[in-house]
Amino acid sequence: MSARLARHRWIAATVGGALGLCLVVAGCSSSGGGNGDDADAARGADQAVDDRSSTGADQGGCTGDQSNRAAGPLHVDPGTAMSYAGTPPVSGKHWGQWPDLTKALYVAAERPELGQLVHSQEHGWTMVWYDESIASDEKAMQTLRAFAAEVDDADLTKVVVVPWTGADGDAFPGGAHVAFTHWGNEDDGTEWRQFCATPSAAALVAFSARHPSSESREPNGP
pLDDT attached to residue 57: 64
What span, in angstroms and rounded, lies between the C-alpha atoms of 197 and 180?
A: 12
pLDDT at 65 over 70: yes
For the ranges 29-33, 68-72, 143-147, the one whose mean pLDDT is highest = 143-147
Q: Which pLDDT belongs to residue 53?
A: 57
Q: Is the pTM of this model over 0.85?
A: no
Confidence grade of residue 188 (pLDDT, cut at 50, 70, 90): confident
Confidence grade of residue 14 (pLDDT, cut at 50, 70, 90)? very low
- Give the angle subtended at the CA of 181 by the CAs of 178 and 186, to the nearest 5°: 155
Give the integer Cα–Cα distance in Å for 65 and 138: 29
Q: How much is the average pLDDT of 155-159? A: 95
Distance from C-alpha of 201 to C-alpha of 66, rounded to nearest angstrom = 19
Higher pLDDT, 145 or 16: 145
Model confidence pLDDT, tens digit, residues 113-136: 999 999 999 999 999 999 999 999
Parallel/antiparallel/unpaired status of strands 11-15 and 18-22: antiparallel
* pLDDT over 80 (residue 177): yes
Q: What does the pLDDT look like over 22-53, one tens digit per residue?
A: 323 233 333 333 334 454 444 443 444 444 45
Average pLDDT of span 55-61:
76
Alpha-carbon gap, residue 88 to 176, rounded angstroms: 12
pLDDT (mean) for 62-91: 94
